[in-house]
Amino acid sequence: MSGSLGRPRPEVVLCPGGPALIRSDVPAVDVVVTDAQQTVDRPVVAFCRCGRTGREPWCDGTHKLARGAGAPRKLPRSDR
């Protein structure tokens, strides 16, 4: 592709306390996913980083049930 914009580069976003979001046109993902059944068909995928997912390698939101560093912050108590 010509011009100064070029192609969008693969992008990795590390979500604090959550998964790694990966935007790529597949090669970066192929390296990690060895199971032939695990094809990538989303424009962006979320890789589990907490090790608790039931759908390895994908995030299934389970990190939110964890206590400690990955847990969401606490709401202040209600005044009522």
Partner 1 sequence: MLLPRPRGPLSARLRRLLLDGVEEIDDLETATEGHASSVPPDSVLHDEDLQLSLWMIYELSFRGFDDVDDRWEWAPEIAGLRTVLERPFEQWLRDVTEGWVSRTLAVEGDVADKIFALTDGFDEGPDLSRFIRKEATPDHVRDFLRQRSIYHLKESDPHTFVIPRLTGPAKAHLVELQYDEYGGGRPGFLHHELFAVTLREAGLDDAYGAYIEEADGPTLAATNAMSLLCLHRRLRGVAMGHLAAFEATSSIPCRRIAAGLRRTGFSDDAARYYDEHVEADAVHEQLAAREICGTLVDSGDVSVRDVVFGAAACLVLDRYQSESLMARWDGAHTPDQLEAAR
**Closest distance of CB 62 from partner 1, Å:** 7
**Interface with partner 1 (CB under 8 A):** 13, 15, 17-19, 21, 41-46, 54-55, 58-62, 64-65, 71-80
Of residues 72, 51, 47, 71, the one with CA closest to residue 59: 47
How far is residue 46's CA from residue 21's CA, in Å, rounded to a whole number? 4
Q: Which is nearer to partner 1, 15 or 32 (CB)?
A: 15
**Closest distance of CB 30 from partner 1, Å:** 18
**Closest distance of CB 70 from partner 1, Å:** 11
